[in-house]
């Protein structure tokens, strides 16, 4: 673990009390002047550090913004977000994540930006990522399982976001197949999973997570104003982005660990409990054909589960789906 992370832990547990320079120097195995340099870095980041001779250091004011230090401060995860790369502005955190992963970034590394100027959706769509108004984050994972299981991680991520939103805000999110998070029928969050794999081995997976937090309607471009929403629009007040990031990271780690231990069934039930319009008729479109079926939920392997008109149960692995207008089918 990095020296900075351990320093943060020590200052955190001392709360508002002074921590002596000697203690810090012993625990961190660094010199007094190295400690002083770390304190200067924290000050640059907006922390107010009080240093009193013979007493030591204590933090008297904490910044509100998002940074590597502020996300680390109070984060209780074991492996997720131990390494954080934060950018004030970038094209897309996905690209930084791929680069970092190719440079051997560890499992659980996260990349987070205040703003993305070329945020990516699925299938080359665009993801609007207004400065300081949402969570624009990529998580690097190195799971030890077959590439065909990667879509299960996307479904897992959707349940994590739904859980985090429900717990943090008391709103009632829905997951629209495969991974849109809706509140009152409007999109609040999206997930983009990208993977680097060789034959039957995953090198790494990048889970891109976008959550609209503090936008007002006018922050979205005209063309999506009627289908996008944010926690602020839904609750009528602003949310602390750093706190919410920590909540998402904690939920993600818990769910991921339990998925690795217990497999997909729990994820499936959770996903279905949030599932949008399960039991209704959908139109399924692939490259060559289009048909109608009843949407039953998701299968044990993460596929879309449907029932055709002649009562055949069919799993769907790719293609777009569309619901009929309410009452139309």
Of 173 and 208, nearer to ligand BTX (C-beta) is: 208
Task: Identify whether the C-beta of residue 179 lies closer than 8 Å to the C-beta of residue 245.
Answer: no
Q: Determine the Cα–Cα distance for residues 162 and 181; give it in Å rounded to an integer.
A: 7
Q: Which of 83, 86, 176, 187 binds ligand BTX (CB under 6 A)?
A: 187
Q: Determine the Cα–Cα distance for residues 205 and 105; give it in Å rounded to an integer.
A: 12
Closest distance to ligand BTX from the beta carbon of 252 (Å): 14
From 184, 320, 208, 164, select the one nearest 174 (Cα to Cα): 184
Q: Determine the Cα–Cα distance for residues 291 and 94; give it in Å rounded to an integer.
A: 34
Closest distance to ligand BTX from the beta carbon of 54 (Å): 47
- Taking CB under 6 A as the rule, does residue 94 contact ligand BTX? yes
- Taking CB under 6 A as the rule, does residue 127 contact ligand BTX? yes
- Taking CB under 6 A as the rule, does residue 216 contact ligand BTX? no
Q: Determine the Cα–Cα distance for residues 42 and 18; give it in Å rounded to an integer.
A: 16
Piece in contact with ligand BTX (CB under 6 A), picked from 63-71, 114-122, 254-262, 283-291: 114-122
Of 35 and 211, nearer to ligand BTX (C-beta) is: 211
- Taking CB under 6 A as the rule, does residue 234 contact ligand BTX? no
Size of the site for ligand BTX (CB under 6 A): 27
Q: Which of 56, 151, 210, 275 binds ligand BTX (CB under 6 A)?
A: 210
- Taking CB under 6 A as the rule, does residue 120 contact ligand BTX? yes
Residue 232 to residues 21, 103, 308, Cα–Cα distance (Å): 43, 37, 40
Task: Identify whether the C-beta of residue 209 lies closer than 8 Å to the C-beta of residue 139.
Answer: yes
Q: Which of 121, 147, 297, 319 binds ligand BTX (CB under 6 A)?
A: 121
Closest distance to ligand BTX from the beta carbon of 212 (Å): 5
Closest distance to ligand BTX from the beta carbon of 47 (Å): 27
Of 125 and 285, nearer to ligand BTX (C-beta) is: 125
Strand 180-183's sheet: what is its strand order?
84-90, 110-116, 134-141, 201-212, 186-198, 180-183, 173-176
Query: Which residues fall within 8 angstroms of residue 207, CB to CB, at 6 or more apart?
Result: 138, 139, 141, 153, 154, 157, 191, 192, 193
Using only C-alpha atoms, the chain has a radius of gyration, in whole angstroms, of 22
Task: Identify whether the C-beta of residue 282 lies closer than 8 Å to the C-beta of residue 292.
Answer: yes
Of 63 and 121, nearer to ligand BTX (C-beta) is: 121
Q: Which of 6, 82, 87, 122 binds ligand BTX (CB under 6 A)?
A: 122
Of 246-305, binders to ligand BTX (CB under 6 A) are none
The number of C-alpha atoms within 13 Å of 32 and in the hemisphere containing its C-beta is 9
3-class DSSP state for residue 186? strand
Of 144 and 218, nearer to ligand BTX (C-beta) is: 218
Q: Determine the Cα–Cα distance for residues 168 and 170; give it in Å rounded to an integer.
A: 6
Of 120 and 270, nearer to ligand BTX (C-beta) is: 120
- Taking CB under 6 A as the rule, does residue 128 contact ligand BTX? yes
Piece in contact with ligand BTX (CB under 6 A), picked from 89-97, 237-245, 269-277, 278-286: 89-97
Of 201 and 286, nearer to ligand BTX (C-beta) is: 286
Give the residues lining the site for ligand BTX (CB under 6 A).
92-94, 116, 119-122, 125-129, 136-138, 180, 187, 190-192, 208-210, 212, 224, 228
């Amino acid at each position: 673990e990095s020296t900075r992370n351990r320093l943060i832990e020590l200052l955190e547990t001392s709360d508002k009390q002074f921590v002596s320079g000697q203690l810090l120097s012993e625990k961190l195995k660094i010199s007094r002047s190295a400690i002083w340099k770390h304190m200067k870095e924290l000050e640059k980041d907006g922390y107010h550090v009080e240093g009193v001779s013979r007493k030591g250091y204590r933090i008297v004011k904490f910044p509100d913004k998002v940074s590597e230090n502020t996300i680390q401060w109070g984060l209780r995860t074991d492996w997720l977000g131990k390494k954080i790369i934060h950018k004030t502005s970038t094209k897309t955190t996905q690209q930084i994540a791929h680069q970092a992963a190719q440079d051997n970034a560890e499992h659980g590394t996260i990349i987070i930006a205040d703003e993305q100027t070329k945020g990516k959706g699925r299938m080359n769509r665009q993801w609007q990522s207004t400065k300081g108004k949402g969570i624009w984050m990529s998580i690097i994972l190195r799971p030890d399982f077959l590439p065909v299981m990667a879509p299960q991680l996307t479904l897992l991520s959707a349940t994590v976001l739904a859980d985090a939103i429900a717990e943090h805000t008391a709103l009632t999110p829905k997951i629209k197949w495969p991974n849109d998070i809706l509140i009152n029928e409007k999109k609040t969050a999206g997930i983009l999973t990208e993977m680097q794999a060789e034959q039957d081995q995953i090198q790494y997976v990048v889970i891109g997570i976008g959550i609209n937090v503090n936008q007002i309607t006018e922050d979205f471009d005209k063309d999506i104003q009627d289908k996008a929403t944010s926690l602020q629009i839904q609750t009528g007040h602003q949310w602390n982005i750093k706190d919410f990031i920590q909540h998402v990271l904690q939920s993600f780690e818990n769910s991921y660990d339990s998925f690795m231990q217990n497999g997909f069934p729990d994820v499936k039930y959770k996903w279905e409990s949030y599932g949008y319009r399960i039991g209704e008729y959908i139109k399924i479109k692939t490259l060559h054909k289009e048909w109608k079926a009843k949407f039953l939920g998701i299968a044990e392997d993460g596929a879309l589960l449907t029932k055709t008109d002649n009562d055949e149960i069919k799993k769907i692995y790719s293609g777009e789906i569309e619901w009929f207008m309410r009452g139309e089918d």
